[in-house]
Structure 1
Amino acid sequence: MDQPRVLVVDDDPALLQALPEALRLRMESVTVDTADSGEGALNLIAARDYDVIVTDIKMPGIDGLGLLAEIRTRRPDTPTIMITGHGEHALAIDALRGGAYDFIQKPIDRDYLVASLRRAIQVSELSRRVKEQQLALECRANELERTVEERTRELREVTGVIESPLKWLMGPSRQMQKVVQQIRQVADSPLTILVEGETGTGKELAARAIHQLSARGKKPFVAVDCGAIPDTLIESELFGYEKGAFTGADQRREGRFRLAEGGSLFLDEIVNLPLPTQVKLLRVLQERQVQPLGSKQPLQVNVRIIAASNVPSEREVRTGRFRQDLYYRLNEFLITMPPLRERDDILDLANGFLAEASMEFGRPAREISEAAAAILLRYHWPGNVRELRNVIRRAVVLASDVIEEEHFSFLAADAPPVTALRREPTPVGPSLKEIAEGAAADAERQAIRQALQATGGNRSEAARHLRTDYKTLYLKMKQYGIPAAQFRKSRTSRA
């Protein structure tokens, strides 16, 4: 704490001489200044801060109460002690109401005055500390605000983010520039769209972009994974049902078509629909009506259909697993999403995902080293863009600053072991762990195929045969690229 400074104001020369001397004797290291008028006191207050001000109430010119008012305006945190004459209780009360810290009657009790001054100095010091802390907090808050603004601006500059549904589809890739052009061309048309591409290439992103860029953009976008719903439930999910339509239907439920009213319905993995459901879907597309299970009255629907498949739909038509008439009805406009391994913007995507993950996780990862970038360019990306995004997010968690080669070491470990054995033999051969993993994967593939063959492609029955749950079977089928449709018996393509 700095040496405390006190200002004594009184028009009595004798008091101005005696009182400071008494204070210096009783209070160590105190500095006492004096003023013989309110005007003189204001000049001193304007030039410096005081820890405490002691002033007489009755003075010519600006009296004590007037001086108190000025002090409260100019130095509101400075405690002020008023000196009153004997019996001037009303003035003392006025002074306290005006903001005085304390008052002392004449003749002055110097011990009381010293005690009051010590308390006032402590109050002044605490007030000063609080103000300093408030200023420090305000400065820190301003710094943080500037940092947030700077980081946000940097992120926008690095990623080139604009509020557009195409932001993760746009880039320097020639293939994706064609896709974006097709999306813009078809978005506001009434055409039904079929999007084809491997798993993870961004088919749903394309579908959402089409929806958002269309006149239906403010209406619902409803996505249905046709491969994730058991065959026995798919029709009730799509078309809805009435109360009592079947066992367990204890209340009416809207289907996905009705939930998407006025908007877009995205049918992902469309080739996994059972053939009977394909017939009903074709009728819905032609008549623009759905008939919920258990209902005798069809309902009009106003929905745009965007379908997607991770295998060539035309091939499924040739094998008889997908109806030809439905294929032609869906394929009014075809968009093909290129696999990541054939694109020339892998590093651009990686840097975009890096900026996104760094901001989300609050991690300082700023760039990908050349050695790490080389790994990204060599990898075959079976999971495509989705896998790349997950890989970058994982690396951001592992890295402390720059993403290096070792942060992608798991890519080789996570590569399909069978592919590694067949395509990338090494002089020392595979490890026992890789051989075991490869054998287990082959055994799982064979068992799943046999179960699907035995059940005619019915995944619910196949899951019971394999003594597993439906979701596990579905995920394994996606992992090994086994479509259920190829195990269904071929039927005529006409209804």
Structure 2
Amino acid sequence: MSAPVLLVEDDISIAVVITTALEDEGLQVVRCDTIAERDRLLNCEHYSALITDVVLKDGDGIETLPAVKDRQPDIPVIVVSAQNTLDTAVRASDTGAFEYFPKPFDLDELIRAVTAAIAASEPEIHPAEGEEHTELPLVGRSNPMQAVYRMITRVLRNDLTVLILGESGTGKELVAEAIHKLGQRSQGPFVAVNTAAIPADLIESELFGHEKGAFTGAFARHIGKFEQARGGTLFLDEIGDMPMQAQTRLLRALQSGSILRVGGREEVPIDARIIAATNKDLAPLIEEGRFREDLYYRLNVVPIMLPPLRERGEDIDALARHFLAKASREGLPRRALTDDAAALLRAQPWRGNVRELRNFIYRLALLAREDLIDRASVQSMLAEEIPTPAPSLGSPTPPFSGASDLETALARWLAANAPEPGQIYAKAIAAFERPLLTHMLDTTGGNQLRAARMLGINRNTLRKRLDELDIDPERFAARTRS
């Protein structure tokens, strides 16, 4: 028989349940409820595993784990906690915990983890000295988010490629940033690129760089995103929209571990962790021949699925408080929500997920008349919202009339104007925003609500841009009447 398992848990009901389950598996369990008693027991006997709560009567079970390792360096540790935040999961991982379980946990999974921990012989992972995780980007304690936190902690101490899946607005880039900031490449750069926002004929240059003279307008060597991310993390967002030719080059780069600049002859080694993300279901795209199956397998080494906000409604209160506090730090009035107002927020579908909730909370912080926001204020602002169709992973973007013509016009404009790197986005927006807005107003006969709905923006945002661009919607309405 192996050495006993040491259980440190001050909730007697949970302690009894865990003890009974482990003893049914033929394991011997020694139980205590304080850190002091834990240390005394560790000094007296060898244990095959340690299961510990975090908040105990005389201290923090995670903070004191170094003392456990001083006494028994090879003991695997399993942390269970009701303090189920990303911070807790990361702290548990950083102190070398074998596994972390948020309460309430699946008892069968706990048993499997204990059995695996006892059999494991891998060395423990210790945190980098002085690491702290105070400003973490992810908020929520729901069970779906706990699964996300656990997946994040499992990829922090390696460079495995991660594929983040989830609807628009669920926080895919925040997860990528968390993996970077908390991982072993945190001292390097975090380079994010939206592969859907780059014209097809420029994407290879943006990702891999180009040599001087590689094509018309290439007046100097350009260092691409792969090289910019050297020593850090490269985040490839909206990977499902990447053109096929670029997919082929990306696959070759991942397979070979090096890139070749456009027009270049010298291979440049890749020194960046790759994290990709998409709001699309890649399986149908593969079947339709629009996404390479071999690239999918290269990217999908560790998948992380982000839940939509409608599946983690219990997190809405915490998210709302978080965004109100963040808005206050950014200069907006300090606000709070009444219980009725918070309940109304929880009842909303939030089809735009966390991004939509964040924007709504910021508008509340700016426009509310009282510091304590009540249900009537929330209801009034919700009435001004433009309804949007419910998204789903893999659902196509609503078709926009003339989208292919618009893409062609944009490509021609880029070729003709050749804006300098760093100015492409601003100049393209400036060039195309006015004709886009006038086209929408012409299509809708000057109806700003319909135009805003087609554009996918708030009506107030549209009004603001029309005023700034000196576009009079009435002239389009007059044209329709005449």
Q: TM-score, normalised by structure 2?
A: 0.55
Give the letter for the 1:331 counterpart.
N
Q: In the alignment, which residue of structure 2 is the partner of 1:403?
A: 373
Q: In the alignment, which residue of structure 2 is the partner of 1:378?
A: 347
Q: In the alignment, which residue of structure 1 is the partner of 2:211?
A: 242
From 270, 274, 280, the counterpart of 1:301? 270
Unaligned runs of 5+ in 2: 1-84, 89-131, 391-396, 413-427, 437-451, 458-482
Q: Supply the distance in 2 between the matched residues of 1:229 and 1:349 (Cα, whole angstroms).
A: 32
Q: Does 1:460 align with 2:407?
A: yes
Report the alpha carbon displacement of residue 223 of structure 1 after superposing the two structures with TM. Answer: 0.3
Paired residue secondary structure (2:179): helix
Q: In the alignment, which residue of structure 2 is the partner of 1:323?
A: 292
Paired residue secondary structure (1:361): coil
Give the letter for the 1:312 counterpart.
D
Q: Deviations over 1:408-428 (max 9, x none)?
A: 323333232678xxxxxxxxx
Q: How does 1:92-491 map to 2 (within 5 A)?
A: 164=133, 167-343=136-312, 344-361=314-331, 363-365=333-335, 367-399=336-368, 400-408=370-378, 409-416=380-387, 446-448=399-401, 451-452=403-404, 460-461=407-408, 479=456
Identity of aligned residues (%): 46
Aligned CA distance change for structure 1 residues 298 and 477 (closer, same or farther; 3 Å): farther
Q: Supply the distance in 1 between the matched residues of 2:220 and 2:358 (Cα, whole angstroms).
A: 41
Paired residue secondary structure (2:337): coil
Report the alpha carbon displacement of residue 359 of structure 1 after superposing the two structures with TM. Answer: 3.2
Paired residue secondary structure (1:254): coil
Aligned CA distance change for structure 1 residues 310 and 446 (closer, same or farther; 3 Å): closer
Q: Supply the distance in 1 between the matched residues of 2:184 and 2:155 (Cα, whole angstroms).
A: 12
Q: Supply the distance in 1 between the matched residues of 2:239 and 2:456 (Cα, whole angstroms).
A: 18
Q: Supply the distance in 2 between the matched residues of 1:336 and 1:161 (Cα, whole angstroms).
A: 19
Instruction: Identify which range, 322-331 or 371-380, moves more after superposition.
Output: 371-380
Aligned CA distance change for structure 1 residues 462 and 384 (closer, same or farther; 3 Å): farther
Aligned residues: 290
Q: Supply the distance in 2 between the matched residues of 1:240 and 1:309 (Cα, whole angstroms).
A: 23
CA contact (8 A) 2:196 2:238 kept: yes
Paired residue secondary structure (2:230): coil
Give the letter for the 1:192 counterpart.
T
CA contact (8 A) 1:314 1:327 kept: no
Q: Supply the distance in 2 between the matched residues of 1:315 and 1:349 (Cα, whole angstroms).
A: 33
Q: Supply the distance in 1 between the matched residues of 2:178 and 2:301 (Cα, whole angstroms).
A: 18
Give the letter for the 1:169 counterpart.
L
Give the letter for the 2:296 counterpart.
Y
Q: Supply the distance in 2 between the matched residues of 1:258 and 1:477 (Cα, whole angstroms).
A: 38
Report the alpha carbon displacement of residue 398 of structure 1 after superposing the two structures with TM. Answer: 1.9
Q: Supply the distance in 2 between the matched residues of 1:321 and 1:379 (Cα, whole angstroms).
A: 35
Q: Deviations over 1:387-445 (max 9, x none)?
A: 211111111112221112343323333232678xxxxxxxxxxxxxxxxxxxxxxxx95
Q: In the alignment, which residue of structure 1 is the partner of 2:116?
A: none
CA contact (8 A) 1:220 1:263 kept: yes
Aligned CA distance change for structure 1 residues 277 and 364 (closer, same or farther; 3 Å): closer
Q: Supply the distance in 2 between the matched residues of 1:413 and 1:197 (Cα, whole angstroms).
A: 27
Give the letter for the 1:352 counterpart.
H
Aligned-CA RMSD value: 3.2
Paired residue secondary structure (2:234): strand
Instruction: Identify which range, 322-331 or 377-386, moves more after superposition.
Output: 377-386
Aligned CA distance change for structure 1 residues 360 and 417 (closer, same or farther; 3 Å): closer
Aligned CA distance change for structure 1 residues 311 and 369 (closer, same or farther; 3 Å): same
CA contact (8 A) 2:169 2:353 kept: yes
Q: TM-score, normalised by structure 1?
A: 0.53
Report the alpha carbon displacement of residue 463 of structure 1 after superposing the two structures with TM. Answer: 5.5
Report the alpha carbon displacement of residue 190 of structure 1 after superposing the two structures with TM. Answer: 2.4
Paired residue secondary structure (2:137): coil
CA contact (8 A) 1:228 1:471 kept: no
Paired residue secondary structure (2:373): coil
Aligned CA distance change for structure 1 residues 262 and 348 (closer, same or farther; 3 Å): same
Report the alpha carbon displacement of residue 263 of structure 1 after superposing the two structures with TM. Answer: 1.0
Aligned CA distance change for structure 1 residues 171 and 477 (closer, same or farther; 3 Å): same
Q: Supply the distance in 2 between the matched residues of 1:223 and 1:206 (Cα, whole angstroms).
A: 12
Report the alpha carbon displacement of residue 316 of structure 1 after superposing the two structures with TM. Answer: 2.0
